[in-house]
Amino acid sequence: MTEKIGVLGKKSLQRTGVERIVNAPLPTVYGQFRAVGYLDHDRGDEQVALVHGDIGSEGVLTRLHSECLTGDAFGSQHCECGDQLASALKAVVAEGSGIVVYLRGHEGRGIGLLAKLRAMALQAEGLDTVEANLALGLPVDARDYGVAAGILQDLGVNSVRLMSNNPRKREALVQHGIEVAETVPLLIPPCESNITYLRTKRERLDHVLPHLDAVAHLS
């Protein structure tokens, strides 16, 4: 928490960091969760962690899922996001405990929904996902995982088994004080609509996607 000088010269308190606001039961098609809602005072985003079972503090099966409206809600095959979210929720239920942190403000690797759609239009014209962002004058990946680390710390988590194919997520958590005991692959079978996108993520963004080698016939 920091002090801010108001327009009348009086000191007022301005909250910083992430604050837990609510903890509500959330029955889903995958199983019973607790939806723990947070407010990120630095960015103004509302965040949520879906918690299943007694998570403990060490080696907690965890997914940091970047918001993706097109994939998560509309079933887009341009990416694998919707399938990854469903697989992560199923995995923590099968494990008996775990966390899926759903990170709002991460749409399009942090560039926002409309910019992501513009980038998708450029990809339809032949650019890859990296080239499209750069052509729009936008960063390739603008996501920050500090709020995710703050949420995990609030939940009492010291170390995680991280469901991710992206080594940058692991590095970010470690930088923010969360130990990553293991990286658990979250591999979704590709389709013709997303194979180019996935290959770009592997070749240019360092995602670990060994299963793509078995689908060379897709173009």
- Told to judge if 109 belongs to the known catalytic residues of this protein, a careful annotator would answer no
- Told to judge if 154 belongs to the known catalytic residues of this protein, a careful annotator would answer no
Contacts of 141 (CB under 8 A, 6+ apart): 109, 110, 168, 205
Closest CA to 136 of 148, 150, 145, 125: 125
Contacts of 79 (CB under 8 A, 6+ apart): 68, 70, 71, 194, 197
Token pair, residue 155, equals 């939940």
Active-site hit among 63, 109, 118, 143: 143
Beta bridge partners of 26: 33
* Angstrom distance (rounded) from CA 34 to CA 14: 29
Active-site hit among 128, 141, 144, 154: 141
Q: Which residues are catalytic?
A: 141, 143
